[in-house]
Amino acid sequence: MKQAMVVSTVILGLLSAAGCHRASSPGPAATAYGAAVVAVSGDKQVAGAGAALDQPLVAQVNDAQGSPVAGALVRFSGGQGVRFDPASGLTGSDGQITVKVYLGGMAGRYPLLAITQDKAGKAYQAEFPEIALDYQQMLGRVLNEKYCSRCHNPESTAERVSNHDNLSVPPHAFTDGAALNAISKANLIAEISHGGAAVGKSAEMPPYGLTLSAPDIEALAAYIRAVADPPYRPQGVFNAAP
Amino acid sequence: MSLFEKIRQFLFRDSARTFGTCSVALLVLLAVVPAKDHFREWLGYQNGYERLIRNRSDGVSLARRFQGGVRQTWLPELQVVDRCTTCHVSLKEASLAGVAQPFRPHPPIPHALNEFGCVMCHRGQGFATTVEDAHNSTLAWEQPILPARYVESSCGQCHERPLTGTPQLNSGREMLASYGCVNCHKVLSPEGRAMTATDNPPPLSHVASKTSREWIFAWLKNPQAYAATATMPNFQLSDDDARDLSAFLISQSTPYLEGAPRKSAPSAGDAQQGASVYGESYCASCHAMQNAAGLMVGGNVGPELTRVGSKVKPEWLAEWLRNPKTYDPETAMPHYRFEDKDIGLVMGFLGTKTDSDFLANVKLEPATPAQIEHGKRLVNERGCASCHEINGIPRPDNFAPELSAVGSLALSKIVFVPGMQHTLPDYIAAKIRNPRSFGSALKMPQFTLADSQVDALVTALLAQTTRAKTLPVALRIQAPPPSTYQPAGKAAKLIADMRCFSCHMINGRGGSMAPELTWEGSSVQRSWLVNFLKRPNTLRPALIRRMPKFNMTDEEANTLADYIMAVYQTPAFDSGSADVANFAAGDAAHGKDLYYGKYACNSCHILDPNKDKGYLGPTLTQAGLRLNATWVFHWLKNAQELRPGALEITWNMGDDDARAITAFLMQQKAATAQGGAK
């Protein structure tokens, strides 16, 4: 009887220990240490809330002389709900590490971080600012692709030639927060709806008020706010500390 | 006396003592209920909300709108019961943007929250009142909350018609059709309409005329090694299986030109000149090819041609270029009216597109009857005939499980692989990403898909719910039934022969690569149209996909032009009405001012190639020779009405402005189209 109790206690103990065990990923141990980490590529991307970023993040660890360090441990961290694959790892022979990212489920800015430590335990970090869009902003993004980006995006691709440089007054890129954040939402919507000439700007910006619906134009304004760099900060609104 | 007996004696010695004990016990029990209520999880959140708003400048208004207690949205016709707003108390308070959950306001959507509830879109357990129960997925939880990246799937429960704001859902649905998923899996809409495939896999009944057994073997082993863009999945066949399958496919193949007088194939011509013919014929509008820099250039309507020289037999290629329909009556490839010389040149060019590595290690012994028999068994087992036409093999019905309600698949019916998350989206994603991880004997092949494509497919499949079937019909935004439009007469034969529908949409039928032609007859002048059909030139400088030159005869071009001019006429106006063309003196000059001034048409259109730069819209140097004046007039007033989705602005111009600009444009009759291609 007593023996059975002891055995069952041991089994219970083992079971609960197994149940409590969280698969914490300590990651591999660093074989080398750097003195800086830089964002190589994958920053400033835009995706739907919770969605995967199109491009992976690439971070590079350098030593004090600026040469890449292989085998340094890099840990990635982000806001709530962000998933990295893998969440940490060692840099390759080129001193770089590549991770896939799923953004969190809430729309907004995600300043993702790549963090490495030197031998003394001092942390260095590189920031990858990313943006997650909500439904309205995503609608704006799709409309932007069809109607706006041909002139407002100065970059040409093999599939889409930009008309940006053909205009006498160069249109603002939608990321140009320095210029666009200063325009109120009402004025932004007025300009999209009634065209540049109606608000004293270039007539090369045509009026979209009868081509697009009012919610579509609202969505475009929301998208412009969402991708602005520097970020748009609404004025005159009480902002609770997050 | 035992301890138990002592206690009993103490509590229940006589009737007075017993009464007292019971009263105390009852009191304690009564106290438990409010105490338990006080520690409710949701009450903690509501108290937290009151603390959050207390010191805000807008706290008073927020507090006035806040209602405590368990809140519930009940929408019987949608089967929605949810209490999410018990904790998410401030979904409509836009001023709280940026605060932590559960108090974040809901981002703007086109629906009122109280008309649809929360679980319609986010799923989860709506009537739960604890965080754990409402959101999380436990081993046996049937409806955990939907990860945000699949949330567009919920739109798809009502919206069968593509929505502008749901790119992921749209692309997932498009892929179900274009990757051939629906060739094996039945996917029905809530009305019971089956999704149809758009991938058009080639028939294999004459495959031995087209390619070698070695190529079939290498292709079966790894289609993406031949063409990175190939949509054919990898069936992960063993060498023996691929050997036997290729043996059977060759053995069942029959000659395809039997009885027909076969013209002798032209000999392959100069590759350099062939490249010019390939370019001038705009083969790249549909076919991609890796260029010298390693970049993939071209469209994706037809197969990639980077290594086509290692695949097709020259006699077959000659016959295919002469008229593709003799080999594959269903092909999307138009019948170019090539002369033998040009056929030889294109053959010469494509013949250089080889890859010696692809077939280097393929050494096949002649097939034995047993191998062929085994190959036939494999064709049946793997369901090859679901996609491809194969002699003697009927197309299997319902070869793979039906997916019409896969978005409501009960977790208890799913066999998960150890180590994976027990949720439906994770299961579907794993099935698509790596089907054989669920068992090496499974039939589903391995597709080559990017992560975003897997997410899109999962989104489209999660939209297939049982809830979608039970929704009120009034809520359903049905997709229009597929158009069965058929042109008539002689022109119909030409339209079919040149596969106009592969690129152009007419009356709801056809592709979207090229402009819609439903009202083309109202829009252009007949003489221009005949000329364009014979020698297409570039109208839109920024486009990289162009109309090919089909080498039509005069008679063919005239037949087509007559039909287009007579039949594709808008009912909105009479394109022959003269009143618009009766321009007053000075109209054109005023039109020029409006063109360059008020409307800045030159931002998108080139009219004077020496001065204008915008190249989004069609070039207008020859507008007066190309366009119908009445069309231009109405187009300037409301282009969207004439061609929904056109990039042209709906200007809503007044009659005077529209007439003046029309007069100006109709003057544009430059001798040659500027910026045009050869």
pLDDT digit string, tens, across residues B373-410:
999 999 999 999 999 999 999 999 889 999 999 999 98
> Is residue B661 a contact partner of residue B620, using CB atoms and an 8 Å limit?
no
Contact at CB, B613 and A219, closer than 8 angstroms: no
Residue of B nearest to A140 (CA): B165
- What's the pLDDT at A242? 40
Which positions in chain A touch B541 (Cβ < 8 Å)?
Answer: 161
pLDDT tens-place string over residues B309-326: 999 999 999 999 999 999
User: Is residue B505 scored above 50 in pLDDT?
Assistant: yes
- What's the pLDDT at A133? 96
The alpha carbon of residue A95 is apart from the nearest alpha carbon of chain B, in Å, by 26
Please give the C-alpha separations between residue B195 and each of B172, B276, B368, in angstroms, as whole numbers.
13, 40, 41
Which positions in chain A touch B608 (Cβ < 8 Å)?
Answer: none
User: Is residue B290 scored above 80 in pLDDT?
Assistant: yes
Q: At what angle do helices B554-567 and B526-534 cross, to 10 degrees?
A: 140
> Is residue B197 a contact partner of residue B160, using CB atoms and an 8 Å limit?
no
Average pLDDT along chain B:
90
The alpha carbon of residue B545 is apart from the nearest alpha carbon of chain A, in Å, by 9
Contact at CB, A203 and B599, closer than 8 angstroms: yes
Which positions in chain B touch A160 (Cβ < 8 Å)?
Answer: 542
Which residues, 6 or more positions from A172, have their beta carbon under 8 angstroms from its beta carbon?
A152, A179, A180
pLDDT tens-place string over residues B514-548: 899 999 999 999 999 999 999 888 777 777 778 88
State the pLDDT confidence band at A241, using cuts at 50, 70 and 90: very low
User: Is residue B485 scored above 60 in pLDDT?
Assistant: yes
Contact at CB, A139 and B52, closer than 8 angstroms: no
Q: How many CB atoms lie within 10 A of CB B192?
A: 8
Cβ pairs A/B, distance under 8 A: 126
Residues 22 to 81 of A: which have CB under 8 A from any B CB? 48-52, 54, 81
Inform me whether the C-beta atom of residue A149 falls under 8 Å from chain B C-beta atoms: no
User: Is residue A17 scored above 60 in pLDDT?
Assistant: no
Which positions in chain B touch A165 (Cβ < 8 Å)?
Answer: 613
Contact at CB, B651 and A100, closer than 8 angstroms: no
User: Is residue B53 scored above 80 in pLDDT?
Assistant: yes
- Mean pLDDT value of segment A125-142: 96
Inform me whether the C-beta atom of residue A216 falls under 8 Å from chain B C-beta atoms: yes
Which positions in chain A touch B616 (Cβ < 8 Å)?
Answer: 150-151, 163
- Mean pLDDT value of segment B274-297: 89
pLDDT tens-place string over residues A47-93: 999 999 999 999 999 998 989 999 999 999 998 889 999 999 999 99
Inform me whether the C-beta atom of residue A219 falls under 8 Å from chain B C-beta atoms: yes
- What's the pLDDT at B584? 79
> Is residue A42 a contact partner of residue A110, using CB atoms and an 8 Å limit?
no
- What's the pLDDT at B233? 95
State the pLDDT confidence band at A24, using cuts at 50, 70 and 90: very low
What strands, in cross-sheet order, belong to the sheet with A96-102?
A36-41, A57-62, A96-102, A83-85
- Mean pLDDT value of segment B563-578: 88
State the pLDDT confidence band at B139, using cuts at 50, 70 and 90: low
Which positions in chain B touch A211 (Cβ < 8 Å)?
Answer: 640, 649-650
Which positions in chain B touch A135 (Cβ < 8 Å)?
Answer: 107-109, 165
Contact at CB, B107 and A135, closer than 8 angstroms: yes
User: Is residue B86 scored above 90 in pLDDT?
Assistant: yes
Contact at CB, A222 and B108, closer than 8 angstroms: yes
pLDDT tens-place string over residues B608-630: 888 888 888 899 999 999 999 99
Contact at CB, A139 and B165, closer than 8 angstroms: yes
CA distance B266 to B277: 15
CA distance B589 to B661: 9
Which residues, 6 or more positions from B8, have their beta carbon under 8 angstroms from its beta carbon?
none
Which positions in chain B touch A166 (Cβ < 8 Å)?
Answer: 603, 613-615
- Please choose, from the candidates B547, B482, B542, the residue with its C-alpha nearest in 3D space to the C-alpha of residue B520: B547
- What's the pLDDT at B678? 29
State the pLDDT confidence band at B133, using cuts at 50, 70 and 90: confident
For the whole model, what pTM was predicted? 0.90
Contact at CB, A50 and B599, closer than 8 angstroms: no
CA distance B408 to B468: 10
Give the residues across from A130 on adjacent strands: A110
Give the residues across from B73 on adjacent strands: B82
Residue of A nearest to B615 (CA): A163
Which positions in chain B touch A158 (Cβ < 8 Å)?
Answer: 295, 297, 544
DSSP notation for B315-383: HHHHHHHH-GGGT-TT-SS------HHHHHHHHHHHHT---TTTTTT---PPPPHHHHHHHHHHHHHHT
Contact at CB, A210 and B650, closer than 8 angstroms: yes
State the pLDDT confidence band at B142, using cuts at 50, 70 and 90: confident
CA distance B173 to B162: 9
Question: What is residue B390's DSSP assignment?
Answer: B
- What's the pLDDT at A8? 55
- Please choose, from the candidates B439, B280, B268, B459, the residue with its C-alpha nearest in 3D space to the C-alpha of residue B352: B268
> Is residue A97 a contact partner of residue A74, using CB atoms and an 8 Å limit?
yes
User: Is residue B262 scored above 70 in pLDDT?
Assistant: no
State the pLDDT confidence band at B2, using cuts at 50, 70 and 90: confident
Contact at CB, A242 and B98, closer than 8 angstroms: yes
State the pLDDT confidence band at B581, using cuts at 50, 70 and 90: low
The alpha carbon of residue A49 is apart from the nearest alpha carbon of chain B, in Å, by 6
Which positions in chain A touch B603 (Cβ < 8 Å)?
Answer: 151, 163, 166-167, 204, 206
Contact at CB, A222 and B600, closer than 8 angstroms: no
The alpha carbon of residue A158 is apart from the nearest alpha carbon of chain B, in Å, by 8
- CA dihedral angle for residue A157, residue A163, residue A169, residue A173, rounded to 10 degrees: -40
Inform me whether the C-beta atom of residue A159 falls under 8 Å from chain B C-beta atoms: yes
Contact at CB, A105 and B149, closer than 8 angstroms: yes
Contact at CB, B52 and A240, closer than 8 angstroms: yes
Considering only CB atoms, A143 lies closest to which of B52, B164, B651, namely: B164
Contact at CB, B600 and A238, closer than 8 angstroms: no
The alpha carbon of residue B192 is apart from the nearest alpha carbon of chain A, in Å, by 29
Span of A123-127, A212-216, B669-673 with lowest mean pLDDT: B669-673
The alpha carbon of residue B111 is apart from the nearest alpha carbon of chain A, in Å, by 11
Q: How many residues does chain A have?
A: 242
- Mean pLDDT value of segment A7-27: 50
ipTM, two decimals: 0.89
Which positions in chain B touch A51 (Cβ < 8 Å)?
Answer: 148-149, 168, 452, 455
pLDDT tens-place string over residues B9-43: 888 888 998 999 999 999 999 998 888 878 889 99
- What's the pLDDT at B403? 96
- Mean pLDDT value of segment A186-206: 94
Which positions in chain A touch B651 (Cβ < 8 Å)?
Answer: 206-207, 210
Residues 98 to 117 of A: which have CB under 8 A from any B CB? 100, 102, 104-108
Q: At what angle do helices B369-382 and B239-252 cross, to 10 degrees?
A: 100
One-letter amino acid at B495 equals: I
pLDDT tens-place string over residues B181-237: 999 999 999 888 999 998 889 999 999 999 999 999 999 999 999 998 899 999 999
Q: How many CB atoms lie within 10 A of CB A39?
A: 19
DSSP notation for B457-515: HHHHHHT--HHHHHS-GGG-BPPPPPP-----HHHHHHHHHTTGGGT-EETTEE-SSS-
- What's the pLDDT at B135? 87
- CA dihedral angle for residue B351, residue B356, residue B361, residue B366, rounded to 10 degrees: 20
Inform me whether the C-beta atom of residue A19 falls under 8 Å from chain B C-beta atoms: no
Residues 222 to 241 of A: which have CB under 8 A from any B CB? 222, 237-240
Backbone angles phi and psi of A84, in degrees to 5: -110, 145
The structure tokens listed for B28 are 């304690």
Give the residues across from A115 on adjacent strands: A75, A125
- What's the pLDDT at A96? 95
User: Is residue A23 scored above 50 in pLDDT?
Assistant: no
- What's the pLDDT at B407? 94
CA distance B664 to B667: 5
- What's the pLDDT at B419? 85
- What's the pLDDT at B564? 96
- What's the pLDDT at B258? 67
- What's the pLDDT at B293? 84
Cα dihedral across residues B411, B417, B422, B428: positive or negative: negative
Which residue of B149, B150, B538 to mutate against A (max A Cβ within 10 Å)?
B149
